[in-house]
Amino acid sequence: MPKLGVNIDHIATVRQARKGKEPDPVEAARICEEAGCDSIVCHLREDRRHIQDDDVRRLRKSLGTRLNLEMSIASAIVEFACRIRPDQATLVPERRQELTTEGGLDVARGEKRIRAVVGRLAESGIETSLFIDPEKLQIDASKRVGAGIIELHTGEYANAKPGPARNKQLAKLKRATSYARSLGLEVNAGHGLDYVNVRPVAAIEDMNELNIGYSIISKALFSGLDAAVREMKELAR
Ligand code: PXP
């Protein structure tokens, strides 16, 4: 059974709507850990649209599991990570206009720069994972730059129509996992995984960890809405 990393970015998205203190991602992380997750994932974006520097600092201090910091390869972010020392850094491509991380990191194209970042993070004792599309070219490049872990982007799988199109994407994920394992890489997966599509990905042999955010936070809103309304109604009475 793969481990589960919960991405709590969108707790911070709701907080930033009012720029206040609630809901607090650190409190969310505590609940996720109590519920049995294996790591907490957050993405410190360059535009700070959800997670803030101080969230990462507080998570670093409070977590009982592992902190997996998603980040771009921008120097300021890399230096921040080296000061905070998360257990793991996951390098992702970042475009300002995107709503979420669209596509994997092009390790093959940015090999030199990414090798330097992996090395810099390793000097600070941080393990690096590379978020890549499930392609041989990217897996080979990930191995060459010295990353010990890859995370396969499951977006195309999640977006594919259930049936032959999705099965084709699943087969691609399976092939990529087994090839990466043959090179000695640890394999994680994530993006767009939800309560309907997660099982076949979880069943891939040697899958180490799934990182899931949006579907869990969305479900949590509806799991809690009934109780929240009842409590307010009671107070108003
Ligand atoms: N893994 C990585 C590297 C990501 O960038 C994201 C999105 O922030 C996720 C996993 C989680 O994706 P989702 O929120 O769609 O579950």
| CATH code of 97's domain | 3.20.20.70
pLDDT(133) > 80: yes
User: By alpha-carbon position, which residue is closest to atom 12 of ligand 1?
Assistant: 191
Say what the pLDDT of residue 210 is.
Answer: 98
Say what the pLDDT of residue 185 is.
Answer: 98
The arithmetic mean of pLDDT across residues 95-100, rounded, is 74
User: By alpha-carbon position, which residue is closest to atom 9 of ligand 1?
Assistant: 191
Query: How far does residue 121's CA lie from ligand 1's centre (Å)?
Result: 21
- Overall domain count for the chain: 1
Say what the pLDDT of residue 103 is.
Answer: 85
Task: Enumerate long-range contacts of 44-50, CB under 8 Å, 24 or more apart.
Answer: 44/69, 44/70, 44/71, 44/77, 44/80, 45/72, 45/94, 46/72, 46/74, 46/76, 46/77, 46/94, 46/96, 47/96, 49/13, 49/16, 50/9, 50/10, 50/12, 50/13, 50/15, 50/16
Q: What is the CB < 6 Å shell around ligand 1? A: 7, 9, 43, 70, 90, 92, 100-101, 131, 151, 190-193, 211-215
Atom of ligand 1 nearest to the CA of 158: 15
Query: How far does residue 190's CA lie from ligand 1's centre (Å)?
Result: 6
Query: How far does residue 38's CA lie from ligand 1's centre (Å)?
Result: 15
Atom of ligand 1 nearest to the CA of 214: 14
Atom of ligand 1 nearest to the CA of 193: 16
Confidence of residue 95 (pLDDT cuts 50, 70, 90): confident
CA distances from 111 to 2, 29, 95, 173 (A): 29, 33, 19, 22
Structural domain boundaries enclosing 11: 3-235
Say what the pLDDT of residue 99 is.
Answer: 75
